[in-house]
Structure 1
Amino acid sequence: MSVDVNRISLNQITTESWSLKEAIDGCVRHDIPTISVWRHKIAEFGLKESKHMIEASGLGVSSVCRGGMFPAPTISERRERIDDNKRAIEEAAELGSDVLVLVCGPAPKKDLQEGRRWVQEGIESLIPFAEQHNVKLGIEPLHPMYAADRSVITTLGEANALQQSLESPQVGVIVDVFHVWWDPFLYEAIERAKGHILGFHVSDWRVPLPDIFKGRSMMGDGVIDIPRIRQAVEINGYYGPIEVEVINQAIWDRPGDETLQLMKERFAQHV
């Protein structure tokens, strides 16, 4: 079953060298209907001007990246993280996106269980605020190699369990193939996530991996069976935008228009 190419969304980190305006203009030039906006790019123009540019372009906003980073050593720091997440929810609502992606954060004291508890407490505290703004909170599990510095939530099974424990329709999960492809229980976890999948992100895992953080490759350059994972999330209810999220210095160093052209070609061939 082939993918509908009109579902493609530019996750803005793929063109990190571009400003928000440049990314918006690039999407318009290349007939990419949707964009996922990163908060540091919003900050360059301010929320009001960012909203104006997006509305003028006619683009949809598939998500805002990112909230999360809940664990912190002190109560005051954890409260600051919650306040920042509330600002992120407001930004998502203002830009017309109903999804805030959560990168949940590492454990600051080497205590993973404590870190996970702080993640749960942080998300739980945000649910009423997110509901008021009609924004859903997407828990994105990251590959275990990021447990030390980015997220203590490392499998889709963990994300599902967290979502279910919170018992709120405002909370769901994000399925990013780069982070979950290796999981022997992936397809069972996708089935358990049915009705709660808020986003689907694609890239590829090249061998050898060129870098830990900037290690993603363009679809078709690695070992991930992307179409199989896509079909699984579709069977379980997700037919929304598909974000191309490629964090790779060599791709960032290319002209952005070349990246968007390649992205569209690979999307049609390998997603």
Structure 2
Amino acid sequence: MTRLALNQITTKHWSLPEAVQGCVDAGIPAIGLWRDKVAETGLATAAKLVRDAGLSVSSLCRGGFLTAVGAEGRQTALAENLRALEEAAELGTDTLVMVVGGLAEGSRDLVGARARVAELLSELALHAGDFGVRLAIEPLHPMFCADRAVVSTLGQALDLAEQFPVEQVGVVVDSYHVWWDPELARQIARAGDRIASYQVCDWTLPLPADALLGRGHVGDGHIDFRTLTDQVAAAGYTGWIEVEIFNETVWGTPGAQTLRTMIERHHAHVETP
């Protein structure tokens, strides 16, 4: 379990102190934090809490949402992401997960939205380097293109990331979002040291009414985690393997039980034999 991390959303109903204690009790060495939970606790208090518990912070979720139209929207997005970078540095993580944003309200201009993402990344990348934090672009499954992420494939994410130094901009390989892609093996190999985060959960059916919540524990669905993990490892990634599950049933399960299941599935399906 030396590389296993709990993404905090997996135990959504736990406070940050509860999630930290849960990781300590279960022997999970790292936690991926969410900004809203950090805000509830207070940034300085959260950083001290995690540090005193001896946990590493695998990532901070999330920055991004770079597709707003107009000067005011652009400045708001820039300011919010600068705050997120500062928070990541204070929390001791070098990875800020970036969900780039969907179409602006009432817009059908997908090309323009993607162009705005590239433009704001060019401003944020230099600041990321100053903070010692890498912007980790997360491609989301195409069904989220309209409302959450106009970057849908790992290839698209790499096309953006490769415009900047590797220490400033990388990519996230999230099993739920990329497993379907026929170009995935080639793009993972291409990514190499651009891989800033490897997140895992399974694709389960039937999809719920809110498709965002259609993720299951590793091993509950259709993803070949052994092959995917081998590909990520072959690309040179040796970082945290972060379990990130959006699922009402999982959220309603006692947190300690969820962590036990995480650990069991990590040993069975993800961990290198």
Q: Which amino acid aligns with 1:121?
A: E
Q: Give the AA of the match of 1:259.
A: T
Structure 1 residue 169 displacement after superposition: 3.2
Out of 86, 98, 101, the position equivalent to 1:102 is 98
| Paired letter, 1:257 | A
Q: Which residue of 1 aligns with 2:170?
A: 172
Pick from 2, 21, 24: which aligns with 1:6? 2
| Structure 1: runs of 5 or more not aligned | none
| Residue identity opposite 2:247 in structure 1 | N
Counterpart of 2:122 in 1: which secondary structure? helix
Deviation per CA, 1:6-40: give whole Å up to 9, x if none: 21000000000011111000000000000000000
Counterpart secondary structure, 1:71: coil
Which aligned segments of 4 or more residues in structure 1 are displaced greater than 4 angstroms? none
Partner SS for 1:213: helix
Q: Which residue of 2 aligns with 1:34?
A: 30
The one-letter code of the counterpart of 1:120 is A
Residue of structure 1 in register with 2:68 after alignment: 72
CA distance in 1, matches of 2:265, 2:48: 31
* Equivalent residue, structure 2, for 1:15: 11
Distance 2:247 2:90 in 1: 29
Give the match for residue 195 of structure 2. Answer: 197
CA shift, 1:164, in A, is: 1.5
Q: Deviations over 1:28-62 (max 9, x none)?
A: 00000000000000010110111111111010001
Task: In structure 1, give the amino acid aligned to 2:265.
Answer: R
The alignment's TM-score, normalised by the length of structure 1, stands at 0.97
* Aligned equivalent of 1:91: 87
3-state SS, counterpart of residue 117 of structure 1? helix
Hey, what's the Cα distance between the residues in 1 that align with 2:200 and 2:168? 23
Structure 2 counterpart SS, 1:58: coil
1:168 CA displacement: 5.0
Deviations 1:179-231 (CA, angstroms, capped at 9, x unpaired):
00000000011011112100100000112223401110000000000111111
One-letter identity of the residue aligned with 2:142: P
2:156 corresponds, among 158, 167, 170, to: 158
Aligned alpha-carbon RMSD (Å): 0.9
Identity of paired residues, percent?
Answer: 47
Q: In the alignment, which residue of structure 2 is the partner of 1:209? A: 207
Q: How much does 1:73 deviate?
A: 2.2
Secondary structure of the 1:32 match is: coil
Q: Give the stretch that moved more between structures: 34-43 or 120-129.
A: 120-129
Counterpart amino acid of residue 180 in structure 1: V
Question: CA–CA distance in 2 between the matches of 1:49 and 1:183?
Answer: 41
Structure 2 residues not aligned, in runs of 5+:
none
Distance 2:126 2:157 in 1: 20
Contact 2:154–2:178 (CA under 8 A) maintained in structure 1: yes
Query: What amino acid is aligned across from residue 83 of structure 2 in structure 1?
Result: R
Residue in 2 that maps onto 1:220: 219
Tell me which amino acid in the other structure corresponds to 1:61: V
When the two structures are aligned, how many residues end up with a matched partner?
267
Q: Which of 47, 52, 55 is residue 51 of structure 2 equivalent to?
A: 55
Listed as ranges, the matches of 1:108-257 within 5 Å are 108=104, 109-210=107-208, 211-257=210-256
CA distance, structure 2, for counterparts of residue 72 and residue 139 of structure 1 = 17
- Give the whole-Å Cα distance in 2 for the aligned partners of 1:167 and 1:128: 9
> Displacement, 1:74?
1.9
Cα offset for 1:165? Answer: 2.7
Shift of 1:167: 4.8
Question: What is the distance in 2 between the residues matched to 1:73 and 1:196?
Answer: 29
Q: Deviations over 1:219-260 (max 9, x none)?
A: 000000011111111111101110000110110011111101
